Structure 1
Amino acid sequence: MDPADVPPHPPPAPATPPADPTRGFLGVFRYSGRALQLVWTTSRSLTIALALLTLAAGLLPAGVAFVGARIVDAVVDANRQWLAGTHPSLAPVFAWVALEGLLVAALAGAQRGLSTCQSLLRAQLGQRVNVMILEKALTLQLAHFEDSEFYDKLTRARREASSRPLSLVTRTFGLGQNVISLVSYSTLLYQFSPWAVAVLVLAGLPSFLAETKFSGDAFRLFRWRSPETRMQLYLETVLAREDHAKEVKLFGLGPLLLQRYRDIFHTLYSADRDLTIRRDGWGFGLGLLGTLALYGAYAWIAASTVVSRITLGQMTMYLMLFRQGQSAVSAMLSAIGGMYEDNLYLSTLYEYLETSVPPSQGKARRGAQPEDGIRFEHVSFTYPGAGEPALHDINLHIRPGESLALVGQNGSGKTTLIKLLTRLYAPDHGCILLDGTDLREWDEAALLQRIGVIFQDFARYQMRVGENVGAGDVSHFEDAARWREASDKGMASDFIDSLPAGFETQLGKWFRDGRELSGGQWQKIALARAFMRSQADILVLDEPTAAMDAAAEATIFEHFRELAGGRIAILISHRFSTVRMADQIIVIQDGRIIERGNHAQLMAGNGHYAHLFSLQAQGYR
C-alpha cells in the first residue's frame, strides 16, 4: 500500500448532525407492520406461541395480586377468630396460598417460554435478514459498490437493522402484555377510585416524551456518523489482515493508522457522551415525577385503610396494583419509545432493500449475425460523479477468431472498455453489439456465459484450490474433471499437483492448514478459472499475468492464443513483446483511440505505439 493511498484523516464533526429523513413520530411507525409480517413468515409457530405466552404473562400478575389480597384477608379473619377464642379454619388460607403458588409458577413458566421463543426467533430472524441483505447485494450494479453513499447505507443496514425486526416485535408483544396487565390492574383499582387510574396513567408521560425525543436524537447521530464508522472498520481491516501486514510493517504505518483509529473513536465518543448525559439527566428528573405520584398514592391508600374504608387485604392489593401498574405504564411507554427507535433503524434496512435497480429488459439468447463479432459504435462513458469521460467516441470491431490487444497508460480507459463489454456498466452514448444485437437486448445470464474474463485485481478466494478454479463456472463448481481440464489450459496443473492435497488444498491463511501461493501461482489459478467456461467464445485477460516475468507471460499468452481457436481473444498488457502477437492493436489515451493496426503497421507509422515499444525494447538490450 502506497502511503498516498492511506485514507484521509477524518474531518471534524459538524456541530449538529443533519436531520433524519423520517416523517415524524407517527409516520415512522410505517415499518411496524412489515416487521410483524417478516417475523410471522419466519416462523408462524413461534409467533403464535409468543402471542399466547404474552397474553398469559399479561393476565397472571393481576390474578396474583387479587389472590394475595384474599390471603391477607383470610389471615386477618382467622386471626380475629383466634383472638375471639374460636378455633379458626385455616383451609381458606391454605387454598388461597396454593392457588397463588400455581399462578406464580404459571407466570414463571410464561416468562421463561417468552424468553425461549425470543431466543429462537432472534436466531432465525437474524439469519433471514442477513440473507435478505446479501440477496439484495446480488441484484445491485457495480456502480452501487463504487458509491460511498451506498456503502454508508449498507453499513447502517448490517450493523443495526438485522437485530431490529425482532426487537420491534418483542416490544410490540411486550406492549400488548402490559396493556392487558394495565387493563386488569385498572379494573381492580377503579373499585378504589377512578382518580387512582388517572394518576397511574398520567404519571409516566413526562419520561416517555423525553425518551422518545432522545431516541430520535440517537438515530440522527447514528446516520450522521456512518462514514466514520465505516472508516474505523476499514482501518481495523488494514491493521489486522495478512494482505496488508507486510506493507504496514515495512512502511511503519501501524502507529499512524492506529492513531487515526483513536481519533475517530474520540470524535464519535464525544457525541455519544453528550447525548447519554442529556438523556439520563432528563430521564432522572422526569422520573422523579412518577416516584412522587407513586408515594402520593401510597399515602392515599394508607389513609383510606386507617379510616376503615378498605380492608388490610385490599390495601395490600391496591399498593401492589399501583406499584405494578406504574411499572406496566412505564414499560408501555418505554416500549412505544423503543418501537419508535426500532422503526427509525428499520428505515435504514428498507432504505437499503428498496435501493432501485433498473430491471434487465434483455431476452435475446443469441445474436442476429453470429459472424459479426463485437462492435463498439460511438461509445462514450463517464463514471458516476466523475467530471471527465472515461471513454469518448469509441469505434471498434472484433471479428470471431481475431485477437485484440489494448495498449495505453494506466487510467486510459482499457479496463473501463471491458466493464462495458461485460455489461457491468452501460454506455452513456452509442451502443455495443454482440453478433449484431445490442448488449442491452441480451439476456444477462446468456451474455455472461459467452465471456470468460480475468481482471488484474482478480479474487483470491480463501477456499480450496478446486473451488478457486470452479468459481469460473458455478454450474460446474464442484466438478473435479472440469477443474483438471481448466487448470491444464491455464498451465496451473503442474504446481497444483505438487500441493499437499492437490485440488483439495485449502488456500489462504484465514483457515486451518491453508497454503499461501506466490503471485504467479495465483495468476495461473485465475487463468484456469477463465477456462472453466467451455461455452465462452470471448476470452478477456486484463493484465492477470503482471506478477510473472516477461518470458512466462509470453509463453502463457502464446498458449492462450492457441487455445482460443475460433474465439475472440482480448488482451491487456504493458509488455509489448506479448502485445505484438495480437491480430489488432488499439492504443488508447485519455479515453480515446489514437492508433490502431497490427504490430507491423503501428511500427511503420512511427507513432505513439512505436515510441513506447522502442522505449521498452531498450530496457532489454
Structure 2
Amino acid sequence: MSRLRERIELLARLPWAGPAPLTALIVLTLLLSALPAATAAAVGWLIDRLTGGDASDAVAPLSAYALLLLAGHVLIAVREPLSYLAEARIDGRHRAELSRLAASSPTIDALERPEIQALIRTARADPESFMDGTPGAGVLAQLDLIGRSLALVGASLVLAAYAWWPVPLLIAAALVLHQLRWHEGVQRRRVWRHVLGPSMRADMWSDALVSPAEGKEIRVFGLGGWAIDRIDGHLRTAYDPLWPVDRRILGATWRQLVAVLVPLGIVYVVVALDAASGGASIAVAAAALVAGTGVFEAFDGAPQATINATTCVQAFTRLRMELADGKAVQREKSTPAGGPPTVRFEGVSFGYPGSASPVLDGLDLEVRPGELLAIVGVNGAGKSTLIKLLAGLYEPTAGRVTADGVDIADLGTAAWRARLSVVFQDFVRYHLSAADNVTLGNALTAPDMAAVVGAARDAGFDEVVSRLPAGWDTPLARTRDGGVDLSGGQWQQVVLARALYAMRTGAQVLVLDEPTAHLDVRTELDVFTRLAAHRGSASVILISHRLSTVRRADRIVLLSGGRVTEDGTHEELIAAGGTYATMFAIQARRFQRGFDDRLEEGELT
C-alpha cells in the first residue's frame, strides 16, 4: 500500500509538465500500449495467410505488420523529446518549490545542520551520480507503467484467445521479475543513503578546484594534487560500499533468468507441441508466442527511476517538516507606522547545538530610537550572534527580543525585516551590476536610482563607480562579460551603500557588523563620519574592532561572558578604567607604532 501511495504521489506531479506536453504524452502512451497486442495479431494474421498457400494474400497482413513496426519507431522517436521537455518542466517546478521552501525558513539554524544539508542534497533533483534521481524521471516512469499495464491487458487478451492458463503463469512470473529488480534498487538506495556525507565533501573540493576564489590558494600553495587525492578518497568512501552490493546482485542474476526462462519455456514448448500435433494452427501459436513475450515486456522497465524519485520526494517532504514551512508568515501582523522602535533584549540566552556553554547568557540590552550604539568585545563574545538574533535569523533559547514592547517573532519576520537593514561581516558578493548590488538592500520596492546614487555617495562608493567601465551597469565579477572585480575595501563600500540604500527606502534600524574592517583607519573614519551625518532619524548599531572609531558613538556597550558588562559613552568608559579602557589603550599604542589594526590581524572583533 505504501508503494502505491508513493506512485500516486509521483503521478500528482504529472500536470507540472504542462497541458500540451501532457496531452501528447498520454496519447503517445495509449498508442504505444496498443502495439504489443496489435503486433501479435498482425503476426498471426500474416502466418495464417502465408500458410494458406497464396502468397498474394499476405500483402495486407505484411503491410500491417510493417506499419506497426514503423509506427513503434516513430512513436518512440516523437516521445523522446516530449519526455525530455516534460521531465525538465517537472524537475524545474520541483527545484523552484525546494528553493521557495528553503527561502521561506524564517531562521538559518536549520540550514546549518548537516542532516538538513543532506536532505537538500537528496531533494534538489540535480543528479551528480547514477544513484541520484529526479521527480521528473519518476513521474514519467509512472506514466510509462500505466502504458505497460494497458499493453499487458492487450497482450493477455490475445494470449487468452489461445488458452487462459498461460496468462496467470506469465503475469505471476513477470511480477516476480519486477519484484527482484525492485529489491535490487532498494538495496542500492539503502547503502547510498548512508554515504551522502563523503559524496558532498567530494563535491565541495570539486567546486573549489574550478572556483576563482579558492583557485588562487590552490595554485599558489600547490594544493591541486592534494585536493584531487581528497576527492578520490571521499568518492571511494562513498562508492566502495556499493560494490559488494552489486557483486551480490550480479551473483543472484540467475534468479531473474529462471523467472524469465522457465515460464516462457513452458508456454513456448506447450504451444509449439500443440501446433505440431494439430491442436492449434501455426498462426494462432505464433500470435500466442508473440503475446507471451509482450506480457513480459510490460514489466521490463527498470524500477530504479521510481525508487530514486521517491527518495527525492520523501527528502523534500521531510525537509518541509524540518523547516516548518510558512511558520513566520502565519504570525505576520501589521507593523505600526512611525519612527525607529525601541529595541530590547530581555534576558536573552542562546547556545549553538553541541556547544557546552551558551554564547549569550541572560543578556539585557536596550537600543534607543535614533541612537548610534556601538557594541565591542573580544573574539567569541557573541556580537555577531546578537545581530543574527536581532534579525530573526536565530531564535533565543531563552528570553526575547522586542520592538516597542512587541516580540519580533510576533511581529513576523517579513514585517520586522522591512524595518531593518544589516551589513554582515561575511557579506555576499553578488555577480550582478553595481546598481543591482546596491538595490538589493531593498528588493521589495522598485529600484530608485536617486537613492542609489545618494547611498553610494554617503558610503564613498561613488568614486569607485566613476572609474568603472560601464558605470552603474558594470558587472562586479570577472566571470561576466565586461565585468571587473573589486578590492575587499571597495566591496565593503558596496555593501555599506546597500545598507544605506535600505535606509533611504524605509529601513529604520541599521546594523553594521564590521562594515569597514578591510579599510584603513582614515578611510573608515571618513565613512563613519558620513554615516553619522546621513543616518537621519534611524537607529544605528555598529560592531567594530577599532575602538578609535566607535568612540564617536552615542553609547558603547562591552560584551563579555554572554552579557553586557560595561555601558556608557567613550569618556565614561575610559574614566571607569575597566576592560574597555584597557582595550583602547592597547590599540592606541599599536596605532602609534604604525599598526593598521585591520580585521585580518584578528586581535579584536
Q: How does the TM-score come out when normalised to structure 2?
A: 0.90
Out of 551, 562, 580, the residue aligned to residue 551 of structure 2 is 580
Question: What is the distance in 2 between the residues matched to 1:300 and 1:286?
Answer: 22
- Which residue pairs with 1:550 in the alignment? 521
- Which residue pairs with 1:129 in the alignment? 94
Q: What letter is aligned with 1:254?
A: G
1:537-557 alpha-carbon deviations (Å, 9 max, x no partner)? 211111021111111111111
* Residues 240 and 372 of structure 1, relative CA distance in 2, 3 Å threshold: closer
Out of 115, 129, 147, the residue aligned to residue 113 of structure 2 is 147
Q: What letter is aligned with 2:253?
A: G
Counterparts of 1:441-460 in structure 2, within 5 Å, are 441-460=410-429
Question: What is the distance in 1 between the residues matched to 2:364 and 2:485?
Answer: 42
Question: What is the distance in 2 between the residues matched to 1:191 and 1:244?
Answer: 70
Q: Which runs of 5+ in 2 are unaligned?
A: 593-605
Out of 48, 58, 74, the residue aligned to residue 73 of structure 1 is 48
Question: What is the distance in 1 between the residues matched to 2:247 and 2:341?
Answer: 71
- Which residue pairs with 2:500 in the alignment? 531
Out of 6, 14, 18, the residue aligned to residue 39 of structure 1 is 14
Matched, 1:612 2:577: no
* Residues 518 and 185 of structure 1, relative CA distance in 2, 3 Å threshold: same
Could you tell me whether the CA contact under 8 Å between 1:389 and 1:591 is conserved in 2?
Answer: yes
Residue 160 of structure 1: how far off its partner (Å): 5.7
Partner of 2:117, secondary structure, is helix
- Which residue pairs with 1:484 in the alignment? 453
Question: What is the distance in 2 between the residues matched to 1:314 and 1:46?
Answer: 39
Question: What is the distance in 1 between the residues matched to 2:393 and 2:455?
Answer: 25
Matched, 1:184 2:154: yes
Could you tell me whether the CA contact under 8 Å between 2:370 and 2:537 is conserved in 1?
Answer: yes
- Which residue pairs with 2:313 in the alignment? 346
Residue 139 of structure 1: how far off its partner (Å): 0.6
Counterparts of 1:422-461 in structure 2, within 5 Å, are 422-461=391-430
Could you tell me whether the CA contact under 8 Å between 1:471 and 1:477 is conserved in 2?
Answer: no
Question: What is the distance in 2 between the residues matched to 1:585 and 1:322?
Answer: 86
* Residues 510 and 276 of structure 1, relative CA distance in 2, 3 Å threshold: farther
Q: What letter is aligned with 2:361?
A: H
Q: What letter is aligned with 1:578?
A: T
Q: What letter is aligned with 2:367?
A: I
Question: What is the distance in 2 between the residues matched to 1:455 and 1:571?
Answer: 11
Matched, 1:98 2:98: no
Partner of 2:425, secondary structure, is coil
Question: What is the distance in 2 between the residues matched to 1:139 and 1:65?
Answer: 55
Question: What is the distance in 1 between the residues matched to 2:166 and 2:449?
Answer: 77
- Which residue pairs with 2:386 in the alignment? 417
Out of 41, 46, 52, the residue aligned to residue 27 of structure 2 is 52
Matched, 1:173 2:173: no
Residue 299 of structure 1: how far off its partner (Å): 2.6
- Which residue pairs with 2:600 in the alignment? none
Question: What is the distance in 1 between the residues matched to 2:153 and 2:311?
Answer: 29
- Which residue pairs with 2:439 in the alignment? 470
* Residues 306 and 31 of structure 1, relative CA distance in 2, 3 Å threshold: closer
Question: What is the distance in 2 between the residues matched to 1:234 and 1:465?
Answer: 29
Q: What letter is aligned with 1:516?
A: D
Could you tell me whether the CA contact under 8 Å between 1:200 and 1:329 is conserved in 2?
Answer: no
Matched, 1:63 2:38: yes
Question: What is the distance in 1 between the residues matched to 2:404 and 2:281?
Answer: 95
Could you tell me whether the CA contact under 8 Å between 1:219 and 1:345 is conserved in 2?
Answer: no
Residue 78 of structure 1: how far off its partner (Å): 2.7
1:219-259 alpha-carbon deviations (Å, 9 max, x no partner)? 22222112112111111222221111233334444333322
- Which residue pairs with 2:482 in the alignment? 513
Question: What is the distance in 2 between the residues matched to 1:418 and 1:400?
Answer: 17
Could you tell me whether the CA contact under 8 Å between 1:66 and 1:317 is conserved in 2?
Answer: yes
Question: What is the distance in 1 between the residues matched to 2:68 and 2:367?
Answer: 82
Question: What is the distance in 2 between the residues matched to 1:499 and 1:284?
Answer: 69
Could you tell me whether the CA contact under 8 Å between 1:456 and 1:544 is conserved in 2?
Answer: yes
Q: What letter is aligned with 2:268?
A: Y
Q: What letter is aligned with 1:43?
A: G
Q: What letter is aligned with 2:459?
A: G
Question: What is the distance in 2 between the residues matched to 1:143 and 1:221?
Answer: 28
- Out of 418-427 and 539-548, give the one that drifted further: 418-427
Question: What is the distance in 2 between the residues matched to 1:434 and 1:511?
Answer: 42
* Residues 447 and 328 of structure 1, relative CA distance in 2, 3 Å threshold: closer
* Residues 271 and 196 of structure 1, relative CA distance in 2, 3 Å threshold: same
1:121-148 alpha-carbon deviations (Å, 9 max, x no partner)? 0121121111111111111121122211
- Which residue pairs with 1:275 in the alignment? 245
Could you tell me whether the CA contact under 8 Å between 1:69 and 1:313 is conserved in 2?
Answer: yes
Matched, 1:308 2:278: yes
1:484-515 alpha-carbon deviations (Å, 9 max, x no partner)? 12211111001111111011111123323321
Question: What is the distance in 1 between the residues matched to 2:58 and 2:177?
Answer: 41
* Residues 236 and 41 of structure 1, relative CA distance in 2, 3 Å threshold: closer
Partner of 1:585, secondary structure, is strand
Out of 518, 537, 540, the residue aligned to residue 569 of structure 1 is 540
Q: What letter is aligned with 1:398?
A: V
Question: What is the distance in 2 between the residues matched to 1:66 and 1:158?
Answer: 46
Aligned Cα RMSD in Å? 2.3
1:353-386 alpha-carbon deviations (Å, 9 max, x no partner)? 343423442414127x967622222222223343
Residue 28 of structure 1: how far off its partner (Å): 4.2
Matched, 1:589 2:560: yes
Q: Which runs of 5+ in 1 are unaligned?
A: 1-25, 80-87
* Residues 532 and 234 of structure 1, relative CA distance in 2, 3 Å threshold: same
Counterparts of 1:327-342 in structure 2, within 5 Å, are 327-331=297-301, 334-335=302-303, 339-342=306-309
Residue 304 of structure 1: how far off its partner (Å): 1.7
Matched, 1:541 2:512: yes
Question: What is the distance in 2 between the residues matched to 1:249 and 1:103?
Answer: 61
- Out of 229-238 and 110-119, give the one that drifted further: 110-119
Could you tell me whether the CA contact under 8 Å between 2:489 and 2:519 is conserved in 1?
Answer: yes
Question: What is the distance in 2 between the residues matched to 1:283 and 1:448?
Answer: 60
- Out of 608-617 and 220-229, give the one that drifted further: 220-229
Could you tell me whether the CA contact under 8 Å between 1:401 and 1:569 is conserved in 2?
Answer: yes
Matched, 1:319 2:289: yes
Residue 204 of structure 1: how far off its partner (Å): 3.1
Between the two proteins, the alignment pairs up a number of residues equal to 582
Matched, 1:240 2:219: no
* Residues 419 and 509 of structure 1, relative CA distance in 2, 3 Å threshold: same
Could you tell me whether the CA contact under 8 Å between 1:376 and 1:432 is conserved in 2?
Answer: yes
- Out of 478-487 and 560-569, give the one that drifted further: 478-487
Q: How does the TM-score come out when normalised to structure 1?
A: 0.88
Out of 455, 462, 485, the residue aligned to residue 493 of structure 1 is 462
Partner of 1:78, secondary structure, is coil
Partner of 1:539, secondary structure, is strand
Identity %: 29
Could you tell me whether the CA contact under 8 Å between 2:16 and 2:89 is conserved in 1?
Answer: no
